[in-house]
Amino acid sequence: MSKKTIDHEKVKSLVRELLVALGDDPDREGLKETPRRIANFWRDFIEYEPGKLDTTFGAVKHNQMVCVTGMRVWSMCEHHMLPFWCDVSIAYIADDKVLGLSKFARIAHKHAHKLTLQEQLVSDISEEVREILGTNDVAVLAKGEHLCMTMRGIQTPHRMISSALDGQFHKAEQRAEFFNLVNASCL
């Protein structure tokens, strides 16, 4: 997949046009730098570089569940271009290798830095972890709040929960252990 880049000058121009269309003056003191700031935000968001994702090590114990929770990521709803955040939990059953700890957050952030849906975010994270570890025994859960619901439309706080459970996580015992670990981390 090729690296996405934005047209910084075009974004600045469009933001300036948007300010005019909203009935404001893009040359007034408070807005003079707004087009540049917003273009910088989109550049940083879209062109985010997560670093190395596939550092693995030999497993210490086979069939051990590894679970990392509480990773907060921010993304942008592709329907409204408004932010949403998710607390992401990722688990897998260690077989012949384990994934470096920071790689979980790097993978989650990598997939959050685009216009997407929470359901797609969870699916993308799960797919990448499965590919890196070469196993289907992966579970991903995200609990988030979407500003497109909180600040517009119904205007109410909420939590959306979505999950992707594959391999051994289709079994009740592994699924229950995963959810118990995620819930215990919230205490």
Tell me the pLDDT of the chain (187 aa) as tens digits. 567 899 999 999 999 999 999 999 999 999 999 999 999 999 999 999 999 999 999 877 778 899 999 999 999 999 999 999 999 999 999 988 899 999 999 999 999 999 999 999 999 999 999 999 999 999 999 999 999 999 998 999 999 999 999 999 999 999 999 999 999 987 6
Task: Verify that 37 and 124 share a domain, yes or no.
Answer: no
Strands 83-94 and 97-99: unpaired
pLDDT for the residue numbered 63: 82
Q: Any alpha helices (H) in the chain, and if so which ranges?
A: 8-21, 34-46, 101-112, 118-133, 147-150, 172-184
How many other CB atoms are there within 10 angstroms of residue 174's CB atom? Answer: 18
Task: Verify that 25 and 67 share a domain, yes or no.
Answer: no
Residue 93's SS3 state is: strand
pLDDT for the residue numbered 3: 77
Are 127 and 110 in contact by the 8 Å Cβ rule? The answer is: no
Task: Verify that 12 and 70 share a domain, yes or no.
Answer: no
Residue 46's SS3 state is: helix
Rounded to an integer, what distance in angstroms lies between the CA atom of residue 179 and that of residue 93?
Answer: 14
pLDDT for the residue numbered 78: 97
* Short-list 167, 103, 110, 108, CA closest to 139: 167
Task: Verify that 118 and 151 share a domain, yes or no.
Answer: yes
Task: Verify that 101 and 163 share a domain, yes or no.
Answer: yes
Rg of the chain over Cα atoms, rounded to whole angstroms, equals: 20
In this structure, is residue 29 part of a structural domain?
Answer: yes
Name the domain count of the chain: 2
Domain region containing 67: 56-184
